[in-house]
């Protein structure tokens, strides 16, 4: 039975999404236009993502640090491509207290300028390199249309900024982050089969030599740019004078990268996995993996619930007990809307039969086990199966909604039906890329690397194709 607070995703996907965000208490709208309040349960999920990523990044030699949120205009202007790229989205501070500032400052839309200015002061020799820093913070971009987690004026993210001795080392870093951090995060933790590839020149991050992207396909066939990793080469180091003495004792400009993912990852998890009863969380990202629900509150029920809790926590499985006075039905619905992967129901009648009931959130499958069963091994198997099953289902759906097109008529027919990823050859011209955009806002998602074109002919103009590109409409 669907949650009455949530409209069906097959009836109104946009409203379904915001209903899930609200019903699960992930975020709520604030009186600051375009900005959300990240509620405690939403923040728990964000903390879980931070915990996982911090472990990955620290294992590969990255360190966390923090930069100011304000950037003087003169610093922003040093790299012209960056300021041009972000100009429409920048929020400016022009007064401090009651005094007009001598120089206006922008609220950071991203922090390449601050990091580059800092690196120009601390990088002296090749012995100082590489420097691999990351910061967790909020940034501000003055978006016109906003939606919780997906697109907001202020949002939470991480941004990595690294400096290297050689081009090869910097390029290796760019790909390492995408392949060994972001892709791993999506596949192994989010159970989302995202695709990766190069951005076209028009979609490349302002100031970057090239950008690698990770793209996810939502339940409704709309794509979501879920993270990017950028190779800057020496563009920023020349603009900000980041020089070092190389191994030949000569001054050389350093090589840089930057990369980031944001809280829109939570939006991706919602739109790939959740249903009409609320949130469905992959176990590996769920801040609470198991909820134990009392049906009755006699001593025997409480004792067994506490015994289970202790055993599961001792085996690093996060668990909570709902022993509130709410009705069982209300407790079940609340656990479902929050997407807690496994529910353990303990009732008087069950105990008399020496059994308890386990329920999987994703499939609603119920399973009775003996109270003498090894609860830890049973729960671990259930969580593992749920994690792999969710990835398998999402992969099948992505593949089902991935199409190939040989000409514009093919593209139009696909877009008139169910949207999704469209694989089609491209000649590399901006004109043809813009022509695709005229079909319901279709945009290049990424160039598939090490992949031959389908026909060798551009889907738009019919000329010789350079690349096989994945196209899609986006959030």
pLDDT, one tens digit per residue, over 72-107 is: 999 988 877 777 778 889 999 999 999 999 999 999
> Using CA atoms, how far apart are residues 422 and 101, in angstroms rounded to an integer?
50
Which residues pair with residue 27 across a beta bridge? 38
Average pLDDT over residues 437-451: 96
**3 state SS for the chain:** CCCCCCCCCCCCHHHHHHHHHHHCCCEEECCCCCCEEECHHHHHHHHHHHHHHHHHHHHCCCEECCCCCEEEHHHHHCCHHHHHHHHHHCEEEEEECCEEEEEEEEECCCCHHHHHHHHHHHCCEHHHCCEEEEEEEEEECCCCCCECCCECCEEEEEEEEEEECCHHHHHHHHHHHHHHHHHHHHHHHCCCCCEEEECCHHHCCCCCCEEEEEEEECCCCCEEEEEEEEEEECHHHHHHCCEEECCCCCEEECEEEEEEEECHHHHHHHHHHCECCECCCCCCCCCCCEEEEEECCCHHHHHHHHHHHHHHHHCCCCEEEECCCCCHHHHHHHHHHCCCCEEEEEEHHHHHCCEEEEEECCCCCEEEEECCCCHHHHHHHHHHHHHHHHHHHHHHHHHHCEEECCCHHHHHHHHHCCCCEEEEEECCCHHHHHHHHCCCCCEEEEECCCCCCCCCECCCCCCECCEEEEEECEC
Chain segment 270-314, per-residue pLDDT in tens:
999 999 999 999 999 999 999 999 898 789 999 999 999 999 999
156 lies in the same domain as 205? yes
Is the domain of 309 the same as that of 259? Answer: no
Please tell me the predicted confidence (pLDDT) of residue 138: 97
Task: Check whether residue 213 and residue 135 sit in a common domain.
Answer: yes
CA 395, 400, 405 angle in degrees (round to 5)? 125
Give pLDDT, residue 155: 97
Burial degree of 459 (CB within 10 A; 0-12, 13-18, 19+): buried
> Is there a domain that residue 349 lies in?
yes
Let me know whether 159 and 19 are in one domain: yes
* 97 within a domain of the structure (yes/no): no
* Domain hosting residue 409, numbered range: 403-472
**109 falls within a domain:** no
Spatial distance between the Cα atoms of 355 and 345, rounded to a whole number of angstroms: 10
Do residues 184 and 307 both lie within one domain?
no
Q: How many domains does the chain have?
A: 3
CATH code, domain with 341: 3.40.50.800
Residues 371 and 441 in one domain: no
pLDDT tens for 120-145 read 999 999 999 999 999 999 999 999 88
44 shares a domain with 191: yes
The answer to the question of residue 355 being in a domain is yes
pLDDT at residue 210 greater than cutoff 80: yes
Does residue 39 share a domain with residue 141? yes
Average pLDDT score over residue span 354-378: 97
Asked if 183 and 268 sit in the same domain, the reply is yes
The residue among 360, 392, 424 that closes a domain is: 392
Are 302 and 433 part of one and the same domain?
no
Please report whether residue 82 resides in a domain: no
Of the pLDDT bands very low, low, confident and very high (cuts 50, 70, 90), residue 269 is very high
pLDDT tens digits for range 323-356: 898 999 999 999 999 999 999 999 998 899 999 9
H or E segment to which residue 99 belongs: strand 99-107
* Percent of all residues in the chain with a pLDDT value above 90, rounded to a whole number: 92
Which of 392, 427, 456 is the C-terminal boundary of a domain? 392
Q: Is the pTM of this model over 0.85?
A: yes
Q: Which CATH number is 409's domain given?
A: 3.30.110.30
pLDDT of 1 over the 60 cut: no
- Residue 266, domain CATH: 3.30.930.10
Measured CA to CA, the distance from residue 346 to residue 336 in angstroms comes to 17
Same domain, 167 and 266: yes
Residue 75 counted as domain residue: no
Helix, strand and coil content of the chain, in percent to the nearest 5, comes to 35, 30, 35
Residue pair 132/160 in contact by the 8 Å Cβ criterion: yes
Does residue 24 sit in the same domain as residue 155? yes
Look up residue 94 and give its two tokens.
């022009």
* 3-class secondary-structure state, position 393: helix
Beta bridge partners of 71: 106
186 CA to centre of own chain: 8
Range of weakest confidence among 72-86, 111-125, 195-209: 72-86
Distance CA 199, CA 364 (A): 40
Contacts of 99 (CB under 8 A, 6+ apart): none
In Å, the largest CA–CA distance within the chain is: 82
Whether residue 278 lies inside any domain: the answer is no
State pLDDT tens for residues 299-310.
999 999 999 999
| Gap between the Cα atoms of 368 and 354, Å rounded | 10
CA 178 → CA 160, 170, 228, 449, distances in Å?
Answer: 12, 13, 7, 14
Residue 8 lies in a domain: no
């Amino acid at each position: 039975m669907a949650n009455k607070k949530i409209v069906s995703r097959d009836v109104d996907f946009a409203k379904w999404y915001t209903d899930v965000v609200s019903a699960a208490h992930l975020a709520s709208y604030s009186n600051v236009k375009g900005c959300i309040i990240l509620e405690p349960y939403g923040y728990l999920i964000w903390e879980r993502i931070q915990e996982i990523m911090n472990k990955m990044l620290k294992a590969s030699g990255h360190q966390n640090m923090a930069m100011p949120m304000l950037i003087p205009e003169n610093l922003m202007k040093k790299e012209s491509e960056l300021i041009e790229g972000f100009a429409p989205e920048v929020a400016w501070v022009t007064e401090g207290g009651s005094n007009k500032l001598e120089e206006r400052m922008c609220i950071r839309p991203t922090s390449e300028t601050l990091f580059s200015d800092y690196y120009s002061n601390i990088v002296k020799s090749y012995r100082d390199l590489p420097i691999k820093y990351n910061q967790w913070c909020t940034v501000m971009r003055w978006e016109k249309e906003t939606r919780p987690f997906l697109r907001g004026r202020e949002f939470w993210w991480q941004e990595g900024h690294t400096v290297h001795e050689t081009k090869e080392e910097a390029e290796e870093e760019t790909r390492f982050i995408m392949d060994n951090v972001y892709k791993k995060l999506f596949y192994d933790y989010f159970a989302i089969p995202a695709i990766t590839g190069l951005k076209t020149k028009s979609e490349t991050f302002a100031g970057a030599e090239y950008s690698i992207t990770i793209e996810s396909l939502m339940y409704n066939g709309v794509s979501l740019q879920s993270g990017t990793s950028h190779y800057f080469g020496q563009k920023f180091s020349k603009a900000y004078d980041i020089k070092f003495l190389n191994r030949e004792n000569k001054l050389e400009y350093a090589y840089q990268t930057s990369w980031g993912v944001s809280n829109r990852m939570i939006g991706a998890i919602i739109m790939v996995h959740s249903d009409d009863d609320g949130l469905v969380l992959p176990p590996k990202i769920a801040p609470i993996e198991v909820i134990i629900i009392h049906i009755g509150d006699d001593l025997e029920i409480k004792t067994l619930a506490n015994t289970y809790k202790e055993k599961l926590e001792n085996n690093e499985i996060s668990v909570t007990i709902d022993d509130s006075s709410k009705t069982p039905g209300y407790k079940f619905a609340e656990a479902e809307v929050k997407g807690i992967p496994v529910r353990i129901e303990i009732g008087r009648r069950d105990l008399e039969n020496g059994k308890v009931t386990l329920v999987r959130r994703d499939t609603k499958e119920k399973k009775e086990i003996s109270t003498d069963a090894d609860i830890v091994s049973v729960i671990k198997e259930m969580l593992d199966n749920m994690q792999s099953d969710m990835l398998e289902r999402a992969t099948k759906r992505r593949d089902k909604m991935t199409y190939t097109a040989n000409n514009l008529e093919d593209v139009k027919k696909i877009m008139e039906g169910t949207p999704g990823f469209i694989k089609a050859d491209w000649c590399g011209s901006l004109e043809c890329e813009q022509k695709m955009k005229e079909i319901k806002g279709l945009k290049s998602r990424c160039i598939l690397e090490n992949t031959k074109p389908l026909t060798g002919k551009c889907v738009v103009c019919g000329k010789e194709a350079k690349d096989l590109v994945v196209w899609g409409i986006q959030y």
